């Protein structure tokens, strides 16, 4: 049977499906063999980078009959293609609807065995799901964070009402409305950062669940995370994000210098939760939760991890994004006393450019960027700050590789 590998101008939405989480080598023929089991396939489009022609990890499947598309959606969601489970949702080609904030929720403190399918099965009881993901690390292991997008806000509200604070696989989860990263400074979301507790010296065998269970008695918890290295070994410190200032304060007063797991622990209020854990930034291609991301300069809320950026690519220019704390920038100051409110560092230019670069300060939303040192136009990071005296600052020139090394060292 012949199949058109390019999509016709338009199809009724009930005949077309979006298929995500595809491996880079999955092509149209693979998808045709897989989905033709549900019924006659009219057309297949694997979305590819306009320049490199590499797969972007998702595709659109067009069936001849709506009933066949519905059968594929109901019976083939999360079936593996070349060993990788794919997720299916009804095609929504209208960008305004696809990017709509309505119906988005996030789930934290998920038990690690809960995967995409289990999350879908749990929340599909509340309404029609457009997309559903569990954030994973580089090894494909769950980070305990999930995202669900319902087609109606009422379904999302019902899910929050019924599931928030309940046990999933014997673990209490936090469910709330998902707020895109770019909107959080305008909605008071950053107030959560004042409710974060830093704790260390509890031992390398302490897990996320143990940390959550220990601090739960002080109040409702949004997230509890033990920080780990690249091999998954605990760094012997972690963060607990409470939903109230009072709970965080009570936890610090009760736990600091006490004996936990046979060891005297240190506990204090943290300036912030690690950015990748608080905002739920995850790779749009592989769903990995990421600390450093490549962010599209044109698309809304489109990020790639370094692996997918180099392997898959993207049709638009992308910038390197680093979460940075005030303390990190203070380490770079040679003299002068400043008050900084730093949001991120943007690194432009191709990977490994090795160009000399400088840090820039944006004094406020209305003032222009001040050049603290000269640098080549390529690879310019940007640090956003408030109330700073540029005349009192001295900065050193560093190579791009040196800056990356320093960032990684200071943030770990």
Question: Could you read off the pLDDT of 343-352 as tens digits, one per residue?
Answer: 333 333 333 3
pLDDT at residue 292, rounded to an integer: 52
- Return the top range by mean pLDDT from 16-25, 36-45, 107-116, 365-374: 36-45
pLDDT of 54 > 80? The answer is yes
Instruction: Tell how far CA 410 is from the center of its chain.
Output: 21
- For tokens 């000269």, name the residue: 374
DSSP one-letter code for 368: P
pLDDT at residue 77, rounded to an integer: 81
pLDDT of 225 > 70? The answer is yes
pLDDT of 32 > 90? The answer is yes
Contact 17, 60 (CB under 8 A): yes
Compute the distance between CA of residue 295 and CA of residue 302 in angstroms, rounded to an integer: 6
Q: Where are the beta strands (DSSP E) in 137-179?
A: 142-150, 174-177
pLDDT of 322 > 90? The answer is no
pLDDT of 364 > 80? The answer is no
**Which domains are delineated in the chain?**
13-91 (3.30.70.330), 97-178 (3.30.70.330), 189-274 (3.30.70.330), 277-411 (3.30.60.90)
Q: How open is the CA angle 87-91-93, to the nearest 5 degrees?
A: 130
Compute the distance between CA of residue 154 and CA of residue 166 in angstroms, rounded to an integer: 19
Compute the distance between CA of residue 86 and CA of residue 92 in angstroms, rounded to an integer: 17
pLDDT category at 7 given cuts 50, 70, 90 is very low
pLDDT of 154 > 70? The answer is yes
Instruction: Tell how far CA 254 is from the center of its chain.
Output: 32
pLDDT category at 271 given cuts 50, 70, 90 is low
SS3 content of the chain, % helix, strand, coil (to 5): 30, 30, 45
Whole-angstrom CA distances from 267 to 234, 239, 262, 339 are 17, 10, 15, 25
Compute the distance between CA of residue 201 and CA of residue 204 in angstroms, rounded to an integer: 8
What percentage of the chain carries pLDDT values higher than 70?
Answer: 58
pTM above 0.75, yes or no: no
Lowest-confidence region among 168-177, 248-257, 268-277: 268-277
Mean predicted confidence (pLDDT) in 180-185: 51
Q: Which residue has the higher pLDDT, 325 or 249?
A: 249
What stretch of H or E contains 200?
A: strand 196-200
């Amino acid at each position: 049977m012949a199949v058109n590998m390019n999509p016709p101008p338009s199809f009724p939405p009930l005949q077309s499906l979006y298929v995500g989480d595809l491996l880079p080598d999955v092509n149209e023929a693979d998808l045709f063999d897989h989905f033709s089991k549900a019924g006659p396939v009219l057309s297949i489009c694997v979305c590819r980078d306009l320049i490199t022609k590499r797969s972007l990890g998702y595709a659109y499947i067009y069936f001849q009959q709506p009933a066949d598309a519905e059968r594929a959606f109901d019976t083939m969601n999360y079936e593996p293609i070349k060993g990788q489970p794919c997720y299916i949702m009804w095609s929504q080609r209208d960008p305004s609807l696809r990017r709509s904030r309505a119906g988005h929720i996030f789930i934290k403190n998920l038990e690690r065995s809960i995967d995409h399918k289990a999350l879908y099965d749990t929340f599909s009881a509340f309404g029609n799901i457009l997309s559903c993901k569990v954030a994973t690390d580089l090894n494909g292991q769950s980070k305990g964070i999930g995202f669900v997008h319902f087609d109606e806000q009422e379904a999302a509200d019902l899910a929050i009402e019924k599931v928030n604070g309940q046990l999933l696989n014997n673990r209490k989860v936090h469910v709330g409305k998902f707020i895109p990263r770019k909107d959080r400074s305008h909605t008071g979301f950053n107030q959560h950062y004042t409710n974060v507790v830093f704790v260390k010296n509890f031992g390398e065998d302490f897990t996320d669940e143990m940390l959550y269970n220990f601090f739960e008695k002080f109040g409702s918890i949004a997230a509890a995370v033990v920080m780990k290295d690249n091999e998954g070994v605990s760094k012997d410190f972690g963060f607990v994000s409470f939903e109230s200032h009072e709970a965080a304060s009570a936890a610090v007063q009760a736990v600091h210098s006490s004996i936990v797991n046979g060891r005297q622990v240190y506990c204090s209020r943290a300036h912030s939760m690690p950015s990748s854990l608080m905002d739920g930034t995850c790779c749009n291609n592989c769903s990995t939760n990421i600390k450093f991301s490549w962010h599209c300069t044109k698309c809304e809320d489109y990020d790639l991890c370094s692996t997918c950026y180099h392997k898959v690519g993207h049709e638009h220019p992308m910038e390197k994004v680093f979460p940075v704390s005030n303390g990190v920038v203070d380490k770079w100051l040679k003299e002068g006393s400043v008050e900084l409110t730093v949001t991120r560092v943007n690194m432009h230019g191709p990977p490994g450019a090795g160009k000399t670069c400088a840090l820039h300060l944006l004094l406020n939303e209305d003032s222009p960027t001040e050049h603290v040192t000269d640098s080549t136009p390529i690879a310019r990071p940007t640090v956003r700050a408030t109330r700073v005296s540029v005349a009192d600052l001295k900065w050193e020139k560093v190579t791009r590789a040196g800056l990356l090394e320093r960032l990684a060292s200071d943030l770990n």
